[in-house]
Structure formats: structure tokens, C-alpha cells
Structure 1
Amino acid sequence: MASYSNQFVQPAGMKKWGMALTAVGAVALAAGIAFLGLSKDEHDSTRFWAVLLQNSVYWLLVVNAAMFFLCATTLAWAGWTQSFRRVAEAISVVVIPFGILAFIVLMGLVFGHQHHIYHWLTPEGDKILEGKSGFLNPTFFTIWSIITIGGWIFLGWNMRRISREADDQPFTTEEGKKWIFKNTVHAAFYIVLFALTVTSSIPWLWLMSIDAHWYSTMYSWYTFASSFVAGMALIALFVIYLKNQGHLPFTTEEHLHDLGKFMFAFSVFWTYLWFSQYMLIWYANIPEETEYFKARVWGEYRGLFYLNLALNFLSPLLVLMKAGAKRNYTIVSFMAILIIVGHWVDFYLMVMPKPLGDHATISWFEIGIALGYVGMIIWFVGRALEKAPLVPMHHPFLKESVIHHT
């Protein structure tokens, strides 16, 4: 174990990739403002804002999934995660810059009066939108977005602050019990906020209200499943990267196997929700409900519709079903990247059809902005990993993680 370091220092290659991809995103944004955002063409302007909305919400929910994972496993008193919990904590730090970026985009949409994306901004004469105006209005949208993003940032910071206490000195038995109880209580606060936002109201406000005449009772769970499995894939990627760099000595194939099981299980869960939502709407065949899938199954989005299923269901099902595959670094890395890309496509299909119709495309702007977010994740996670020991050596449950076996 002497060859392992418990303190991370970013390799030059990691810094270069983070900075280079972030620069790509910055160039794409600048070009997007010049050629799309300031364009007099209605479709160009709508495309600019729709791409920013899709990426800002998707990547924010993905990095926020890391703190949900930590809090859920804390409530379950799961010891197996302790050997790599600092990876999830570092990813959750990115909620701060991504939350700020998402809030700027959302306020730009609402107060920039981008009614081509949020039709509820102009409800006059539309009885359905007027009926929803108590919920879909700029004031409520803004206040709840502030509470949501601010709550995620504050409660996430608080959980990380408590976690750092395990670096100071060993706990006595009584101190360890009190500390675990404090962890559990504060994790519960976060889970309550998460339930009131990610698994209920926020997907309605930020995404489902794009199709304001349509609604689905499964939409929030569907959005959660999509972003959470991508979040687990992101954790797995950084765990593998750190292992290859000679860190995380207590993280083994057993832990990777469990991360792979999360990726596999929630891919199946996402598919269950996808099928349940689609099947009920198809079977009922009610025109105001089927319009959502008509725009996606036929026409310009048909290829992406089936690609979405292939990337997010068939690939994880066929590849990650075997136990050996979930213990293989190369396979898990490949599938993690595939899942992250696949659910980016999923969010693309959530956002684009209504505001852009047949004018949607995946070109330099869409790819450039996505790569910019990837670069920022690499940059911010690398910096966060440097600020604390990679393993909380005095955590009362660390031994459980060290002897973890599946």
C-alpha cells in the first residue's frame, strides 16, 4: 500500500483536457451568440436557447446525482461506498458552477421572453395555459428555481463539510455514533429536497413545460432515472481513472462490480419508465397525449428515437448483464461513456421537438457546448479532488468498505 497516495494532484494531461474542452465550449458559445443567438431568424435564436437549456439542465442533474447517491447510501448506512466516496463528493462540487450557469440560462429564457420554448409565457387566449398559470408563471418559476438550486448547493456543501471531519482524527465509539447520526440526519434533509425537486416539480417546470399542453405523471421519475444512471456512469469513470493513476487502494473490482450493477439496474429502470409512459399513451390513443410521441417517432427524430433505445437499453442490457463485464475496467469505461452520451440524446429528445420541429440538428453548436460541459466537469472535479484526502481514513464504516465482497 506504500505506493498509493491518499492525496490527489492533477496530472498535466487531465488539466490540458479540461482546459481544452472548456475552451471548445467557450468558442462554440461565442460563435453561437454571433451566428444564432443574435440572428434575426427565429429558428436560429430558438436553437441557440434550446441547446443551452438542454445542456445546462442535463449536466446539472447528472452531477447532482452524485450527492443523491451519497445521501441515499448514507441513509442506508452503506459502508461499501466509503473507499471512493470522495469521488462522488468531488463531482457534487460541480453543482455550484453548473447550478449558476443553469439559473442564468433559465432566467434568460423567462425574462428574455423566449416564448418559442416556453409557450406559457404568453398564455393569453389559451384556456389550457391560462388554467396552469398559477404554476407556470415567471414569478413561481424563478422563486422555485432559486430555492432548488440554492438548496442543492447549500445542502451538498454541508454534507461535504461533515464528511471532512473524518479526516481530522479517529473517533471514539460514542463520537463515531454521534457523527454517523449527524450524517444521517443531514442526508435526510437533502433527500427530502431532492424528492420535492428532481423527482417531482423541477422536471415539470424546466422541461415538461416546453410541451405545456401535454403532461405525464411519470415524467419526473423518467427524468430522474435518465440523469441518475448517467451520474453513476460518471462516478465509475472517475473511479477507474483514479485507480489507473495509482489511487484509491481500498477500491477493488468488488466496488466496480457494484457501480456496474447500478448502471445496469437503472438502465433497466429507465427502460421500464420509458415503456410504461409510451405504452399507456399509445394504448389510450388520446390525441392530446399522442402528440408528444408523434413528433418523436415519425419525421426528423425517428432515427434518434430508436438510437435512444439502443444506447440506453439494449447496450447496457446486453453488455453489463454478465458479472465479469461489470468487473472489467475497459468495458465499464466504454459503457459509462455510452450511457452518458445516450442520455444526452435522451434529453435532446425531451427538449428539441416542440420548439424546433423539423429544424433541429446536431451540428457544431450542439457538440461544442456539450464538450464544453465535459471539459468543465474534468476541470472542476480535478480541482475538488485535490482539496481533501481521497479516502476518509477515520470514517467508522471504512473497514466495511475495505472487506467489501459481492
Structure 2
Amino acid sequence: MAIKEFFAIPARYRTWSLALMGVGILSVIIGFFIYGIPNEHNHHGARFWASLLQNSVYFLLVVNASMFFICATTLAFGGWQIVFRRVTEAISVAVIPLGIITLIVLIALVTVDPHIFHWLHPEGDKILMGKSAFLNPTFYIIWTILAIGLWIVLGYKMRQLSRELDNNPPVDAEAGRKYIFKNTVWAAIFIVWFALTVMSTVPWLWLMSIDAHWYSTMYSWYTFASTFVAGMALITIFVVYLKNQSYLEYTNEEHIHDLGKFMFAFSIFWTYLWFSQYMLIWYANIPEETVYFNSRITSKSHNGAYSGLYWFMFALNFLAPILILMRRGSKRNYTTVTFMAIVIIFGHWLDFYQMVFASLFPDHVTLNLFDFGVAAGFVGLIMFATGRALTKAPLLAKNHPFIKESIIHHT
């Protein structure tokens, strides 16, 4: 059958992406004058920078999860996702603009110093001075540049390898095996770097060090689980959207079902880490550990300003997926999986909000239109970058050695 190989950006899609980016830019400008200029109510402009930190890191890690998904399935010799791989690759292109924005924000946090990171001033604090070999501006800046830079470079290499076969299909089985081996090597390099950054160091540096006296050995895995399930939800949204636009002819409910499985499974995995981190700290009842949860889960009368937001986030990220996505039929229903994908992305955005704001402003919740406006800007940028990337290459990697396996995939 004739297939629609190339994506043409609809006028409505372009309008929405530009409008959302416009809202984001306007929100940043207005927010700077309201929250970014130090005054008697906002001494260091921390409120402004906290929102930029939360949104930039969250959305960067979400789009970067797409390349992790590509590389993980490559190492597993998984072929089921090949029919929509170009969608996943296009989302990973958004790592470039989001990575640049996040890099600027993160470097500004240690140069402008809006008092987000208290470890910038360790004088007289034995705990912070003991961590100074790791928590210092030089290491922070160098590692941040390396982390984001290599995500961009290695992601670019994986996309280039994918497009090699568009005009030069393997001439025989041996050529196909060599191609798969080359893909596997580069995927392994990305996974190793991903493990050294997202699964370990960058959540410590960018987020956990806001509470520099507190630490959790599960924090990086918790952060990874949160952004990976949101990343799978983002892939699902784009796949369903393109299906509704009559693209991705070989993608069917079998593939949507597997994407639904990922959303369901990693929602449970996130909950496992959420509970394990909380349960161990609650059971030990050590003051320097429990302080992290004081503003997050206790009642408002006991200084738990974020308790309502915290449990609402838990309901969105665990109760909704387990109750709705457990059924086989719901994972094969385009409307249901799209709705749940939006719920999951929003729920984990709230998770990141409380991770940042409950540490910086433990006495009160300041969530307002400014935060939603900044988030809208990042959503618009993801739409814009992904849409442009989708137009640059055929939507079907038709010469990939695993393409037949993907077309006849049955779950």
C-alpha cells in the first residue's frame, strides 16, 4: 500500500507550538520583573530561578528519555518499536534546544547565585565543607557541560546511524549484522553515559543538592523513573497524534498496547521507589533524614504546606495509572492512553515542582500562572522541535533489518 513517508506540519500544529512558546517567553519576562528582581519580599530572586530550574530540568530529562528508550531497545535487540522509531528520534532532537536552555539556567544558578544552592557558601558548615570536593562551582559547571554535551552528541550519532539505511539498504544478511553491531556499540556508549549522569550524578548536582544536608541513595533512580515514564507518555502522545493524521500506517494497536504497558509498568516502578525512599526514612526516624518530608507530607498545622499537592501528585502518578491502565483494553484504546499520557506528564511535573519548591520555600506553596506559563513554553518548544525533526526524514525506517519483525508484531 502507498504510505505517507514524510510529515507535513499542519498549520494548526505550528500555530499551537508558536503560541505556547510565546506564552512561555512572555511568562519568563513578566516573571522576571515580579519574582526575579531582589526586593524585600523576594530577597534573592529565588522564586524566578526555581521555576526555571524545575521546568528546564524536568522537560530536558523527559525528552532525553526518548534516546534512552532507543538505545535500551537496541541493546535488547528489540524490533517491535522500529515502525515508530523515527517519532522517538524526532523527540530526542528536542534535547538540543532544551539542553542549551537548561545549561544556561544551571550555570546561572552558580554564577548569578539566587540562593538556590546553599553549598555555594560552605564557610563554617562542616557538612557542606566535607562535600566541597563534589559540591563546588567548577565541578558542577564542567560536569553539567559534559553531561548535556554528550547527550546531544551521542543522540545525534544514533540518529545518523538510523538514517544511513534510508538510501543505502544492507546488500545481504552479513551487512545487516554489521549494521546492528555498530548500532549496538553506540547505544551501549550512550547507556553508559546515561547511567553516569541521569541515573547517578546529575540529579544529585541539579536537584538533591538544593537540600545539601540531606541525601537519599534512591534519589537518582527516583528521578529517572519519574522522567522515563513521562518520556514514554510523550512518545505515546506523538504516535497517537500521527496515527490520527493518517501517518504511521504500520503502527497499530499492538504497538500502542506495548507503549501502554511501559506507562503502566514504570508508574508502578516509580511508586516502588517513592514508597521505598519514604518507608526507610520513616522507619529509621532519623531527624536529619525526616526533615525532607516535613513540608511534604505532614499536615498543614505541623508545617506540611505541600501535603495536599504531594498526595495529589501521588494519586496522579500511581492510583490513576494502576486503576485505568491495568486493563488490557484500556492500553489498546487511543483515547484512554492519550488521556493517561497527559495525566502522567502533568503528575510528574508536579512531582518535580514539590522536589524543588518544598525545599526552597517549605512554609508555603507558590504554584501559580507563572509556573504554568513557563511549562507551556517548554511544551511549545518540544512540539516545535519535534515537528521540524519529523519533516527531515522518512517516518518509516523501511530498510532496517528488524522492520519486518516490527510490522508483524503481536503482543
Contact persistence 2:36–2:48 (CA under 8 A): yes
1:44 shift after superposition: 7.3
Shift of 1:43: 5.5
Cα distance in 1 for partners of 2:149, 2:339 equals: 34
Offset, 1:39: 3.8
Q: Which residue number in structure 2 is paired with residue 18 of structure 1?
A: 17
- Which TM-score applies when normalising by structure 1? 0.98
Decide whether the 8 Å contact of 2:45 with 2:114 is kept in 1: no
Match of 1:378 among 383, 396, 406: 383
2:73 maps to 73
Would you say 1:307 and 2:306 are equivalent positions?
no
Amino acid at match of 2:89: E
Instruction: Indicate the larger mover: 375-384 or 356-365.
Output: 356-365
Q: 2:392 aligns with which of 387, 397, 404?
A: 387
Query: 1:311, 1:339 within 8 Å by CA — same for their partners in 2?
Result: yes
Partner residue, 2:328:
323
Deviation of the 1:390 alpha carbon: 0.3
Unmatched runs of 5 consecutive residues or more in structure 1: none
Of stretches 294-303 and 210-219 in structure 1, the one that deviates more from structure 2 is 294-303
Q: Secondary structure at the residue paired with 2:82?
A: coil
Whole-angstrom CA distance in 2 between matches of 1:295 and 1:51: 18
Residues 66, 91 of structure 1: 8 Å contact kept: yes
Match of 1:165 in 2: 164
Task: Give CA deviations for 1:209-243 in whole Å, capped at 9, x if unaligned.
Answer: 00000000000000000000000000000000000
Q: Structure 2: which 5+ runs fail to align?
A: 299-303
**In 2, distance between residues paired with 1:369 and 1:328?**
31
Aligned residue runs from structure 1 range 127-142, under 5 A: 127-142=126-141
CA contact (8 A) 1:47 1:360 kept: no
Structure 2: how far apart are the matches of 1:267 and 1:305? 16
Q: Which residue of 2 aligns with 1:119?
A: 118
Q: SS at the partner of 1:262?
A: helix
1:249 paired residue number: 249
Structure 2 equivalent of residue 338 of structure 1: 343
**Would the aligned equivalents of 1:43 and 1:356 in 2 still touch at CA under 8 Å?**
no
Which stretch shifts more, 168-177 or 18-27? 168-177
- The aligned residue for residue 144 of structure 1 is 143
The amino acid of 1:257's aligned partner reads H
- Contact in 2 for aligned 1:70/1:88 (Cα 8 Å): yes
Amino acid at match of 2:333: N
Q: Distance in 1 between matches of 2:364 and 2:103?
A: 26
Corresponding residue number in structure 2 for 1:105: 105
Aligned to 2:301: none
Aligned 8 A contact 1:32 1:365 in 2: yes
2:5 is paired with a residue whose SS is coil
Q: d(CA) in 2 for partners of 1:77 and 1:250? A: 19
CA distance in 1, matches of 2:352, 2:384: 23
With normalisation by structure 2, the TM-score equals: 0.97
Identity percentage over the alignment? 64
Amino acid at match of 1:18: S
The offset of 1:353, in angstroms, is 1.2
Residue equivalent to 2:202 = 202
Note the aligned Cα RMSD (angstroms).
Answer: 0.9
